[in-house]
Amino acid sequence: MKIIHTIILLALAGVPMVGGLTDIPGGYFLFPPVATSTNAAASNITMSAAGSRFAMVAISFATGSINKVYFYTSTTTSTASPTTLDVRVETVDTSTGNPTGILFGANTNCSVPLVDTDDNVEKSCTLTANANITTGDLFAVVIAQPGTGQANFQVKAAGDLMVGIPYGTLDNTGSWVRQSPGRAPLFTLEFAGGRLMNYGGPWATIAADTFNSGTNPAERGNRLTVPVPMRFRGVYFAHSSSWTAGSTGVLQIYEGNSTTPTCSSGTLHTATTSTLGWRMAPMNCSLVLYPGNIYRVTLRATSGTNVELGRRVAGNVDRMVSAPGGATVYRTTLNAGVWTDTTTEQFAIGIIAEALENGAYGRAR
């Protein structure tokens, strides 16, 4: 009766349904969700002064108890052995958008040792006491240098994550300076029970692959599974500015381990050297994707000059659970009829769906 009641309500609301799927208002849904950055590089934040601080200001999209903080370093030159960093979860001054210097709760901080050899590594610490947070709360994660014996080091950030929140702010001189729009740190927060919430993604590296028809491999993309049934309508992907003028490629989707594409786009090309951004290619084919099945979406280079595809690399496979789409979306390449998968990497490419299982659209938004 509940199913019949839902169908009647959808019909009365004027929502079209086809084969158990509901068409999406606005036309389409991207899976995995748009990845964190279209830029082909991370943007490092330098902390060098005694007492310097770098913070991520963010809004929580979960309710729970934060008990651990992860972040990535870049180049590190420590002046003490080790330098002890104070990692803090703080409140935010809503009038300035800056951290207040006041802990979010009693003892919501922890210490992280940093030494000269800590280049390009993931650092983490467990808070002395959990930061109990509610969906919608504004908070800051602050990395603070000691007053003496400080290090000269860099924290990794996404080069063009987004404009607005989350954002990075730096204090190297005694006052907070908001970083350029979109320059936000790559932090992961762990909740009691093990749930991860990432800001900027779990990425140790944000890069891009340039390749052509003579490159091994000349076809690259993601292997994925979907969380709910959805009707496929095309492929989206991101690249930076290294797609050479006149270069061509084809977007394709495969089912399982087949090396024969189920659907292909027309030829993609640019008349001039392209700038960074997202591109979409609708495909006129009938394909419904189901949970539990494996699909592969790829970009195949078809000319001797370079196309490009954004790529991200996680510090370890455990971090992929907090990547867009989760741990079942990861790098795949096709060469000489053989698929090769890499479970710690993800390309900025995914599917465009035009309909989801009844009721799933509301859950997915």
Question: How confident is the model over 100-135, as pLDDT tens digits?
Answer: 999 999 999 999 999 989 988 889 999 999 999 999
Q: Rounded CA gap, 80 and 93, in Å?
A: 32
On the question of pLDDT at 274 being above 70, the answer is no
pLDDT at position 178 over 90: no
Kindly indicate the confidence band of residue 66, based on its pLDDT and cuts at 50, 70 and 90. Answer: very high
Total Cβ atoms within 10 A of residue 354: 17
Given a cut of 70, whether residue 3 has pLDDT beyond it is no
pLDDT at 248: 92
Q: Which of 13-22, 23-32, 100-109, 352-361 has the highest mean pLDDT?
A: 100-109
Q: Which of 119-123, 178-182, 251-255 has the lowest mean pLDDT?
A: 178-182
The whole-number pLDDT of residue 285 equals: 86
Please enumerate in sequence order all residues whose Cβ is within 8 A of that of 270, keeping only pairs 6 or more positions apart, or say none: 243, 245, 246, 247
Cα separation, 305 vs 301, in Å, equals 9
Backbone angles phi, psi at 339, to 5 degrees: -85, 140
For residue 165, name the pLDDT band (cuts at 50, 70, 90): confident
For the residues 198-227, what does the mean pLDDT come to? Answer: 89
- Lowest mean per-residue pLDDT among 40-49, 95-104, 169-178, 289-298: 40-49
Q: Give the pTM.
A: 0.74
Q: What's the pLDDT tens digit per position in 75-92?
A: 888 778 789 999 999 999
Question: DSSP label at 360?
Answer: H
Is the pLDDT at 11 greater than 70? The verdict is: no
Tokens 């987004």 map to which residue? 162
CA dihedral 111, 117, 122, 123 (to 10 degrees): 0
d(CA 136, CA 294): 35
Signed CA dihedral, 365, 239, 264, 222: sign only:
negative
State the Cα–Cα distance between residues 306 and 349, nearest whole angstrom: 17
Select the more confidently predicted residue: 61 or 349.
349
Q: Which of 118-122, 160-164, 230-234 has the highest mean pLDDT?
A: 230-234
C-alpha span between 24 and 338 (Å, rounded): 35
Eight-state DSSP code of residue 9: H
- State the pLDDT confidence band at 226, using cuts at 50, 70 and 90: very high
At 275 the pLDDT is 58
Residue 144 has φ and ψ, to the nearest 5°, of: -120, 135
What CA–CA distance (Å, rounded) separates 242 from 308? 6
| Amino acid 10: pLDDT | 32
Residue 154, phi then psi, degrees to nearest 5: -125, 140
d(CA 161, CA 41) in angstroms, rounded, equals 11
Q: Where in the chain is the domain with CATH 2.60.120?
A: 12-36+207-364, 43-200
C-alpha span between 200 and 186 (Å, rounded)? 5
Task: Quickly count: other Cβ atoms within 10 Å of residue 54's Cβ.
Answer: 24
pLDDT for the residue 88:
98
What is the rounded average pLDDT of the residues 290-304?
96
Q: Which amino acid is at 105?
A: G
Its CATH class, for the domain covering 43-200, is mainly beta
Helical H segments across the chain, by residue range: 2-12, 360-364
pLDDT confidence of residue 220: 98
Provide the residue type at 16 as one letter. Answer: P
Reported confidence tier of residue 17, pLDDT bands at 50, 70, 90: very low
Q: Give the mean pLDDT of 297-310.
A: 94
Q: Which is nearest to 146 in space by CA: 51, 66, 56? A: 51
Q: Which two tokens stand for residue 201?
A: 């993604």
Give the H or E element holding residue 57: strand 53-59
pLDDT of residue 200 exceeding 80, the answer is no
Q: How confident is the model at residue 154 (pLDDT cuts 50, 70, 90)?
A: confident
* For the chain, percent of residues with pLDDT exceeding 70: 82
Residue 182 in contact with residue 161, Cβ under 8 Å? yes
Output the CATH code of domain 12-36+207-364: 2.60.120
Q: How confident is the model at residue 282 (pLDDT cuts 50, 70, 90)?
A: confident
The overall average pLDDT reported for the chain is 83
Tally of CA atoms within 13 A in the half-sphere of 296 that contains its CB: 23
